[in-house]
Structure 1
Amino acid sequence: MRGKEVLSAIKNDIEGHIGEKVLLKANSGRRKVVVKEGILEKTYPNIFVVRVEGNDNSSRTISYSYSDILTKTVQLVYKKGNVAIG
Protein backbone atom coordinates (compact mmCIF):
# COMPACT_ATOMS: atom_id res chain seq x y z
CA MET A 1 0.00 0.00 0.00
CA ARG A 2 3.01 2.30 0.20
CA GLY A 3 2.84 3.00 -3.56
CA LYS A 4 -0.71 4.35 -3.34
CA GLU A 5 0.31 6.68 -0.52
CA VAL A 6 3.17 8.08 -2.58
CA LEU A 7 0.96 8.63 -5.64
CA SER A 8 -1.64 10.29 -3.41
CA ALA A 9 1.01 12.64 -2.00
CA ILE A 10 2.15 13.53 -5.54
CA LYS A 11 -1.45 14.23 -6.56
CA ASN A 12 -2.05 16.43 -3.50
CA ASP A 13 1.12 18.40 -4.22
CA ILE A 14 0.12 18.99 -7.85
CA GLU A 15 -3.44 19.98 -6.84
CA GLY A 16 -1.96 22.73 -4.68
CA HIS A 17 -0.42 24.35 -7.76
CA ILE A 18 -3.38 24.39 -10.17
CA GLY A 19 -3.38 27.55 -12.27
CA GLU A 20 0.35 28.18 -11.85
CA LYS A 21 3.01 28.28 -14.54
CA VAL A 22 5.16 25.17 -14.71
CA LEU A 23 8.24 24.07 -16.57
CA LEU A 24 7.66 20.57 -17.89
CA LYS A 25 10.50 18.20 -18.76
CA ALA A 26 9.33 14.97 -20.35
CA ASN A 27 11.46 12.05 -21.47
CA SER A 28 10.03 10.88 -24.77
CA GLY A 29 12.43 8.02 -25.40
CA ARG A 30 15.65 7.49 -27.33
CA ARG A 31 17.47 10.24 -25.44
CA LYS A 32 14.84 12.76 -26.46
CA VAL A 33 13.73 15.24 -23.78
CA VAL A 34 10.92 17.70 -24.38
CA VAL A 35 10.99 20.93 -22.36
CA LYS A 36 7.87 23.10 -22.42
CA GLU A 37 6.42 25.88 -20.33
CA GLY A 38 2.72 25.82 -19.60
CA ILE A 39 -0.03 26.22 -17.04
CA LEU A 40 -1.12 23.41 -14.77
CA GLU A 41 -4.77 23.28 -15.71
CA LYS A 42 -6.58 20.43 -13.97
CA THR A 43 -6.13 17.21 -12.02
CA TYR A 44 -8.11 14.02 -12.32
CA PRO A 45 -7.94 10.82 -10.25
CA ASN A 46 -5.19 9.28 -12.42
CA ILE A 47 -3.82 12.11 -14.58
CA PHE A 48 -3.06 15.84 -14.62
CA VAL A 49 -3.35 18.25 -17.55
CA VAL A 50 -0.93 21.00 -18.61
CA ARG A 51 -1.86 23.61 -21.23
CA VAL A 52 1.08 24.69 -23.39
CA GLU A 53 1.26 27.47 -25.95
CA GLY A 54 2.36 26.64 -29.49
CA ASN A 55 4.52 28.70 -31.81
CA ASP A 56 1.53 30.02 -33.76
CA ASN A 57 -0.47 31.27 -30.74
CA SER A 58 -2.39 28.02 -30.52
CA SER A 59 -2.65 26.13 -27.28
CA ARG A 60 -2.90 22.43 -26.64
CA THR A 61 -3.25 20.27 -23.60
CA ILE A 62 -0.93 17.47 -22.59
CA SER A 63 -1.83 14.92 -19.95
CA TYR A 64 0.48 12.80 -17.81
CA SER A 65 -0.09 10.31 -15.04
CA TYR A 66 1.13 10.72 -11.47
CA SER A 67 3.23 7.59 -11.93
CA ASP A 68 5.20 9.49 -14.63
CA ILE A 69 6.32 11.85 -11.86
CA LEU A 70 7.14 8.92 -9.58
CA THR A 71 9.27 7.18 -12.23
CA LYS A 72 10.88 10.51 -13.22
CA THR A 73 9.69 10.24 -16.81
CA VAL A 74 8.19 13.71 -16.26
CA GLN A 75 9.52 16.50 -14.06
CA LEU A 76 7.54 19.58 -13.05
CA VAL A 77 9.14 22.78 -11.85
CA TYR A 78 6.65 25.25 -10.37
CA LYS A 79 7.25 28.88 -11.26
CA LYS A 80 6.13 31.83 -9.16
CA GLY A 81 6.92 34.94 -11.16
CA ASN A 82 10.43 34.27 -12.43
CA VAL A 83 11.46 32.04 -9.54
CA ALA A 84 11.44 28.27 -10.04
CA ILE A 85 10.26 26.14 -7.13
CA GLY A 86 10.50 22.41 -6.90
Structure 2
Amino acid sequence: MSISIATIKEELENKVGSRIKLVVQTGRKRQTERHGVLSEIYPSVFIVNLDQDENSFERVSYSYADILTHSVEVKFHDHTEEPVE
Protein backbone atom coordinates (compact mmCIF):
# COMPACT_ATOMS: atom_id res chain seq x y z
CA MET A 1 0.00 0.00 0.00
CA SER A 2 1.28 3.41 -0.94
CA ILE A 3 1.56 5.88 1.94
CA SER A 4 0.96 9.54 1.17
CA ILE A 5 0.53 12.74 3.11
CA ALA A 6 -3.20 12.63 2.31
CA THR A 7 -3.64 9.19 3.89
CA ILE A 8 -1.65 10.22 6.97
CA LYS A 9 -3.78 13.34 7.35
CA GLU A 10 -6.99 11.34 6.95
CA GLU A 11 -5.94 8.86 9.65
CA LEU A 12 -5.08 11.68 12.06
CA GLU A 13 -8.37 13.50 11.36
CA ASN A 14 -10.22 10.43 12.62
CA LYS A 15 -8.20 10.47 15.87
CA VAL A 16 -8.62 14.10 17.02
CA GLY A 17 -9.07 14.11 20.80
CA SER A 18 -7.22 10.82 21.29
CA ARG A 19 -4.27 10.22 23.63
CA ILE A 20 -1.06 10.11 21.64
CA LYS A 21 2.58 9.15 22.09
CA LEU A 22 5.19 10.83 19.89
CA VAL A 23 8.70 9.50 19.37
CA VAL A 24 10.72 12.29 17.76
CA GLN A 25 14.14 11.86 16.18
CA THR A 26 16.22 14.68 17.71
CA GLY A 27 19.63 13.88 16.32
CA ARG A 28 22.04 11.09 15.63
CA LYS A 29 20.80 8.07 17.55
CA ARG A 30 18.73 10.27 19.89
CA GLN A 31 14.97 10.23 20.41
CA THR A 32 12.56 12.22 22.53
CA GLU A 33 9.31 10.69 23.73
CA ARG A 34 6.30 12.91 24.41
CA HIS A 35 2.73 12.19 25.50
CA GLY A 36 -0.38 14.29 25.02
CA VAL A 37 -3.66 14.69 23.17
CA LEU A 38 -4.05 15.23 19.42
CA SER A 39 -5.94 18.51 19.47
CA GLU A 40 -6.05 20.15 16.04
CA ILE A 41 -5.56 19.31 12.36
CA TYR A 42 -4.57 21.90 9.77
CA PRO A 43 -3.77 21.58 6.05
CA SER A 44 -0.01 21.32 6.64
CA VAL A 45 0.45 20.49 10.33
CA PHE A 46 -1.13 18.79 13.33
CA ILE A 47 -1.00 20.06 16.92
CA VAL A 48 -0.58 18.04 20.10
CA ASN A 49 -1.34 19.39 23.58
CA LEU A 50 1.36 17.89 25.79
CA ASP A 51 1.02 16.53 29.31
CA GLN A 52 2.19 19.34 31.61
CA ASP A 53 3.76 17.07 34.23
CA GLU A 54 6.34 15.85 31.66
CA ASN A 55 7.04 18.95 29.56
CA SER A 56 7.93 22.59 30.12
CA PHE A 57 5.82 23.75 27.16
CA GLU A 58 2.21 22.99 26.40
CA ARG A 59 1.89 22.46 22.63
CA VAL A 60 3.92 21.14 19.73
CA SER A 61 3.18 20.96 16.03
CA TYR A 62 4.54 18.66 13.37
CA SER A 63 3.99 18.36 9.65
CA TYR A 64 2.56 15.29 7.99
CA ALA A 65 5.85 15.01 6.09
CA ASP A 66 7.59 14.38 9.44
CA ILE A 67 5.57 11.17 9.77
CA LEU A 68 6.15 10.25 6.12
CA THR A 69 9.94 10.62 6.51
CA HIS A 70 9.94 8.80 9.89
CA SER A 71 11.22 11.85 11.79
CA VAL A 72 8.17 11.47 14.04
CA GLU A 73 6.51 8.20 15.02
CA VAL A 74 2.91 8.42 16.24
CA LYS A 75 1.21 5.85 18.46
CA PHE A 76 -2.27 6.09 19.93
CA HIS A 77 -2.98 4.90 23.49
CA ASP A 78 -6.69 4.32 22.83
CA HIS A 79 -6.14 1.44 20.45
CA THR A 80 -3.36 -0.94 19.62
CA GLU A 81 0.16 0.39 19.79
CA GLU A 82 0.40 0.52 15.98
CA PRO A 83 2.30 3.50 14.55
CA VAL A 84 0.60 5.62 11.91
CA GLU A 85 2.33 4.90 8.58
TM bucket, shorter chain: 0.7 to 0.9
Bigger helix share = 1
Bigger strand share = 1
TM-score by length of 2: 0.83
State, as a whole percentage, how many aligned pairs show the same letter.
29
Q: Which blocks of at least 5 consecutive residues in structure 2 are unaligned?
A: none
Q: Mark the structure with the bigger radius of gyration.
A: 1
Q: Which blocks of at least 5 consecutive residues in structure 1 are unaligned?
A: none
Change (3 A) 1:11 1:56: closer
Number of aligned positions between the proteins: 82
TM-score by length of 1: 0.82
Q: RMSD value over aligned CA atoms?
A: 2.4
Runs of 4+ in 1 over 4 A off after TM superposition: 56-59
Please point out which of 73, 81, 84 is paired with 1:84: 81
